[in-house]
Structure 1
């Protein structure tokens, strides 16, 4: 005997973080287009971040056209990665994305922040007889401008940013240095601004510019073919 019960209706399905962020992004666009005032935006924003199902999300954009003038679909495809043209909208702010710890400390040791993490509005990084590595290439940003305050005493801190990010180095070196050897190039539209400040005493703070890492190919690549 077959189970003839109908499948769960789409509105009852649980919404993901990506679904909520997609709705929030459309609400932001609606404010910029003059379709929503700030009071309506704030009300819908609160509902969006507390919604658990599609049924709760759908009314928030029901009366808003998607970009291009077409109604916004309930279940759209997953958002694409940040494009190379510098579209940072999905990685800055968001309200519901908690910032990572506002301090990173290494005393005769080391610390590392890399991969997907959220840079807080102000991050205090301290390396005393130690080292620190802050990789911002895949990071999200709590605000469009963030401040990284570095204290390097007989230690070193390295900050890696992707091309297109605006970097402002203001730190002071006393028998030490704040070093920015690479230039980020033209600032990408909407890219975050990273202010690097602090003190280097018998130590150093270095800012590097590198493109995001490429994902490793599946299947082992050339090594696997050689073994076959």
Structure 2
């Protein structure tokens, strides 16, 4: 049996369901779906377990022909920090734009950032999380337009950030500029316009990386504690052996005194 014949029976991942959700959000913003249809299809998306169940949800929407099946096995392995050669994959992005009008949007997890990603927020907000993302090119542009709204771009360590946005009664966050990227790492250029709004840029570790560092610190703390206990037990600290010996002598003397006192009472 060919791979194409097996594809509808393959189990869908959370990333596949998120790609379908993005198409539905775009269709809602464009007026192709009303809110009731959007909610029905969104519910069906989160209930879907296979690619065969996902495909009909967006079959009648433009640009959705490759949402589920063509991405069957793009990114099965978890993203490792610093593995840039495997994360800059070329090709097209899995999502090229996002809109939030009195609402919000998210792009996060294992998705492919296109060479240019356009996003717009009006009385709303959005989050573009690149910590586990793949990149269609060594240099990508995130173009943000925020009108009385806000957006947050999250990048992992090792990514070079350049901010070129313009703010009018608003602003773009430049704090992460100037931090050198890792060799072979991507370059993210944040552009756009903010009016009574803002675009922030944060550099954060993934949850898995934070957990790994936490476990390392915990292991180091336990090692130090064990080493300290061993040192105290072997008497490496000055005066410690004498203190233990004196304590044992005092206990022995008290026992002898009690024994003599009992003998005296019996003698009476």
TM-score range, shorter chain: 0.5 to 0.7
Among 193, 201, 211, the residue aligned to 2:187: 193
2:130 paired with 1:170: no
2:87 paired with 1:91: yes
Q: CA RMSD in A?
A: 2.9
The normalised TM-score by structure 2 is: 0.48
Among 90, 95, 98, the residue aligned to 1:101: 95
Give CA-to-partner distance per residue, 1:17-70, whole Å, 9 cap, x none.
xxxxxxxxxxxxxxxxxxxxxxxxxxxxxxxxxxxxxxxxxxxxxxxxxxxxxx
Among 138, 156, 168, the residue aligned to 1:144: 138
Structure 1 unmatched ranges of 5 or more = 1-11, 15-78, 218-228
Q: Is contact 2:166–2:194 with CA below 8 Å preserved after alignment?
A: yes
Decide which structure has greater helix share: 2
Q: Is contact 1:165–1:188 with CA below 8 Å preserved after alignment?
A: yes
Cα distance change on mapping 1:127 and 1:101 into 2, 3 Å: same
Post-superposition offset of 1:144:
0.7
Decide which structure has greater strand share: 1
The normalised TM-score by structure 1 is: 0.56
Q: Residues 1-228 of structure 1 correspond to what in structure 2 (within 5 A)?
A: 83-84=80-81, 86-95=82-91, 98-182=92-176, 185-214=179-208
Structure 2 unmatched ranges of 5 or more = 4-75, 212-268
Q: Is contact 2:121–2:150 with CA below 8 Å preserved after alignment?
A: yes
Show structure 1 runs of 4+ deviating over 4 A: 79-84
Q: Is contact 2:90–2:135 with CA below 8 Å preserved after alignment?
A: no
Cα distance change on mapping 1:89 and 1:150 into 2, 3 Å: same
More RCO (CA 8 Å, sep 6+): 1
Taking the aligned partners of 2:206 and 2:151, their CA distance within structure 1 comes to: 19
Q: Is contact 2:99–2:105 with CA below 8 Å preserved after alignment?
A: yes
Say how many residue pairs are matched.
142
Post-superposition offset of 1:122:
0.5
Q: Is contact 1:110–1:130 with CA below 8 Å preserved after alignment?
A: yes
Q: Is contact 1:120–1:143 with CA below 8 Å preserved after alignment?
A: yes
